[in-house]
Amino acid sequence: MAPQEEDLERKKKKEEKAREKELKKLKAAQKAEAAKSQEQKPSNASKKSERKNQKKDAGEENPEDYIDPMTPAGEKKHLSSQMAKQYSPSAVEKAWYEWWEKSGFFVADANSSKPPFVIVLPPPNVTGALHIGHGLTAAIQDTIIRWRRMSGYNTLWVPGMDHAGIATQVVVEKKIMRESKLTRHDIGREKFVSEVWKWKDEYGGTILKQERRLGASLDWSRECFTMDAKRSMAVTEAFVRLYREGLIYRDHRLVNWDCVLRTAISDIEVDYKDIKERTLLKVPGYENPVEFGVLTSFAYPLDEGLGEIVVATTRVETMLGDTAIAVHPEDKRYSHLHGKFAVHPFNGRKLPIICDAKLVDPEFGTGAVKITPAHDPNDFEVGKRHDLEFINIFSDDGKINSNGGSEFQGMPRFKARVVLIEALKNKGLYKGSQNNEMRLGTCSRSNDVVEPMIKPQWFVNCNGMAKEALDAVMDDTNKRIEIIPKQDAFEWKRWLENIRDWCISRQLWWGHRIPAWYVVLEDDQLKEFGAYNDHWVVGRNEEEALLEANKIFAGKKFQIAQDPDVLDTWFSSGLFPLTVLGWPDDTADFGAFYPTSVLETGHDILFFWVARMVMLGMKLGGDVPFRKVYLHPMIRDAHGRKMSKSLGNVVDPLEVINGISLEGLHKRLQEGNLDQNELLVAKEGQVKDFPNGIAECGADALRFALVSYTAQSDKINLDIQRVVGYRQWCNKLWNAIRFAMSKLGDDYVPPSKLAVESMPFSCKWILSVLNRAISKTVSSLESYEFSDAATAVYSWWQFQLCDVFIEAIKPYFSSNLNFESSRSAARDTLWVCLDNGLRLLHPFMPFVTEELWQRLPRAAGSSSMKESIMISEYPSVVEEWINERIEYEMDLVESAVKSLRSLRSLLPPNERHERRPAFVLCRTAAVADIIRNQELEISTLASLSSLKLLTENDAAPAGCAVCIVNEHLSVYLQLQGTLNVEAEREKLRKKREEIQKQQDTLMQKMSSSGYKEKVPSHIQEENVSKLNKLMQELAIIDEADGTLDRAVN
């Protein structure tokens, strides 16, 4: 059997097994339901009749009818003949994605006449596994893309992966060390790079497969990798063009150096630890912990026997590279030393005493500062200002080199620190130490302490490009990019106004090799690689580099060798919107889809990635790479803490989708690399936050929860219980469709148009509020207020369709012949609501909406003729459905119902579900008309046995609980037993206090100084009206109180 057939066979067996399991579960549930219904049967029913009915029911209901048949891979899902009685995420979410993908619904057409809408997925690292941040990104971007696709756009959502230079190299190095006990240097560059490609093909890219589980409708036909052939060619082209424009150059500059990885690293790869005092920390490569948070003072002897000068440092070992001592020009303590020298105690080097007002604070410490230009950013600038010598004292692996002196050469830097302090003590120069608060930079990949080092590197001159990128966002007369939220534009301004040139070379083996060759001339005095900065040539390949070298060094004998370094990963990522669309070639995709529409990402990479894309896009692509930037919040746990493995609060989206036990969560921790103490803390955290594990929620509920959370400014405090709540809400949707299917009937044919004018009140109302929900959802999506959009959809489904409309139309489906016309209108309205409501919800919850929409009877309308909900039309406002009068009337009806339900909730538990009479006291004819016309709706929604209207002339009904709805309306609910006068009085007292408080606040505002002069007249009129209303309500409460007194007496 071929491997492919074996896979299909295995899959088939697995699905059959799952089907059997589902069938067993369903039978067990039905058995339990039958037993429960038997218990609830009236005691006077005959046993014989019960048995007969049970047999009849069992004969009519086949459990297999409720389970979806197996769907062959890529085919449209085969649905069960009967809807399951409970919503199951795993059952609903299977098979749809494969069909969508195979049907080509995700694929964009570069030749389409539709307007384009393009998003580039921020390329996840090839090493990555899906985490909750990716879940948020996918949820937001897929919501945007599905909405735009349904709104008639030619949508393109491009998936890609980043080669992640350092991260991938570290992973593969560890793998080789684990399996072969060899380093990359042992096996050599070529073999190592081959191993990385092998690892990438075998394990890399898991994350993109996981995106499918979230329902991400990415155009997989355009999937790319930052190191595939096309992208690599584009990266080389960009380097060559920028070099030839003079924007890329090579120089000796200070970089963040990682002594373990032996490479420069970017600022974003540096994590900072705040150290308050003397602290011991574990550093890679050192057996014993290293001391930080200590300020050590020592003296330099002065030349000419002038005594000594005391300095202080947190990095004593760097004194081996000191080339000056700086003092403030106005510090009188040192004015006699201006122009003098100190003598280095270990190598005799003369250190000039220089004056520098920019660096030195005379109030701090001794007012004298040691200067190490090659190992400190501030000292580097001082070195340039005063033309000092730059002496590098470290080798690439962090050991003291020959410049540090033979006494210390070969020592690891932190061992040299200890030895140096002893040596200073022996010379009588040590002056003591004290606690010192400091920030320590460590590499996020290796945990090594970052060492500032001067290295020859390739840099991009960013000044001109940064100015253009800054103007693109900040220039209101020609704004080309909008940043959302707006406040992040100020962060953009801060970064770009203070930009430094960008170091783009990395001393790694995995990445894009720098397309630069060093020319070694036969007559060069220094033969060391890279010794002369003007001996470099750049070309698209070695042949082009040779031609360039022959031009520059015509007639000379030379050899060329390519730079072994690779480019910073952010360089290729910065080109991503260009390269995924085919740049530098003039492709159909580039013409149709560049610039893209929106970039959605986290605000933590606004500078490191977003700004660089804008700079490179404008320079090389001729336009900004996107028109909008939406920055989503960062996700934290329910308590607001940063997610961390050591706290045990990391949430894996797949565990939320599929569910996991507490033991499963513990097992994941144990498989990580936490030490025993951390493991214990992490497990305790999991027990506290997830005592019963995580329930199966499904992708739809997770997506909806994450999108709903986006209102939380720059941080999301994720509570899994909220996701569980949305999973339960999916069950509500499921039951709404089940109800509809039972009422529509098998032969129902949806209408092509609704006759709204002749419809019952509740039908007119639900269509009007559906219009409002559509309008609010669309306007919120257009303004990137995703939480508001989600709330608008949710509120309509939950509080208007399910809680009111579906309940209100139930009487129409009774056997009463008077409801024939209303029943038909209710059916049509119900179908229209479900069709529109599911399409409205689809971008947020793609799976459950597809499944439910496919079950709706088909109409002749355009949206229903489509094969899938995802390619049907997004709902739009229907003007003739808008009815503000009906909405006002329903608001009054709902207020009355709410008040009656409130009275019912105060009854003893055993009386709450009984229908009972109610009375409505209307104080105006208009309100009386509304209540009279909607008597059926009020009785149905409030579960009343009867409803009687009263006027102000009628006596208050006896034996009733009362609730004041507003100044025009009060409701009474008949009680069975004796009226609890005290309880009624307490209710009235609370209501009086509440209204009195509102009245006092309003009167205080109206009597404040300058009110009549400053407050607009229409607001003053509104306030007078509000005050009169409150006074009326107080009078009604007094009246109700009097009625109670009369009832007692």
Question: What was the pLDDT predicted at 1038?
Answer: 74
Return the minimum-mean-pLDDT range out of 201-205, 358-362, 508-512.
Answer: 201-205
Looking at residue 937, what is its pLDDT?
95
The predicted pLDDT at position 24 comes to 56
Half-sphere exposure of 175 (CA within 13 A, CB side): 14
Nearest to 579 by CA among 261, 996, 1027, 123: 123
Beta bridge partner(s), residue 265: 256
Residue 993 in contact with residue 916, Cβ under 8 Å? no
| pLDDT value for 377 | 93
397-401, 673-677, 861-865, 1020-1024: which has the minimum mean pLDDT? 861-865
Q: Measuring CA to CA, how many Å separate 538 from each of 125, 243, 568?
A: 29, 8, 17
- pLDDT on residue 1022: 82
Output DSSP code: residue 642. B
In which band, very low, low, confident or very high, does the pLDDT at 566 lie, cut at 50, 70 and 90?
very high
Indicate the SS3 state at residue 1000.
Answer: helix
Alpha-carbon span 353 to 380, nearest angstrom: 16
pLDDT digits (tens, 9 = 90+) for 628-647: 999 999 898 888 888 776 67
Over residues 491-496, the mean pLDDT reads: 94
pLDDT tens string 876-918: 999 999 999 999 999 999 999 999 998 888 777 788 888 999 9
- Cβ(784)–Cβ(628) under 8 Å? yes
Q: How do beta strands 270-275 and 438-443 pair?
A: antiparallel
Q: Are 349 and 300 in contact (CB under 8 A)?
A: no
pLDDT tens digits for range 368-382: 999 999 999 999 999
- 893/33: higher pLDDT: 893
Q: Which residue has the tokens 């890219």?
A: 205
Using pLDDT thresholds of 50, 70 and 90, give the confidence band for residue 13.
Answer: low
Using DSSP, state whether 731 is helix, strand or coil. Answer: helix
Mean pLDDT of 500-507: 93
Question: Taking a C-beta distance cutoff of 8 angstroms, is the pair 363, 370 a contact?
Answer: no
**Cα-based distances in Å from 668 to 204, 691, 698:** 20, 16, 20
End-to-end CA distance of the chain: 94
pLDDT, tens only, 816-853: 777 888 999 999 999 999 999 999 999 999 999 999 99
DSSP, collapsed to helix, strand or coil, labels residue 1021 as helix
CA dist 829 and 935 (Å) reads 21
44 has a pLDDT exceeding 50: no
- Return phi, psi of residue 637, to 5°: -80, 180
Q: Which amino acid makes up residue 869? A: I
At 408-467, the pLDDT tens digits run 999 999 999 999 999 999 999 999 999 999 999 999 888 899 999 999 999 999 999 999
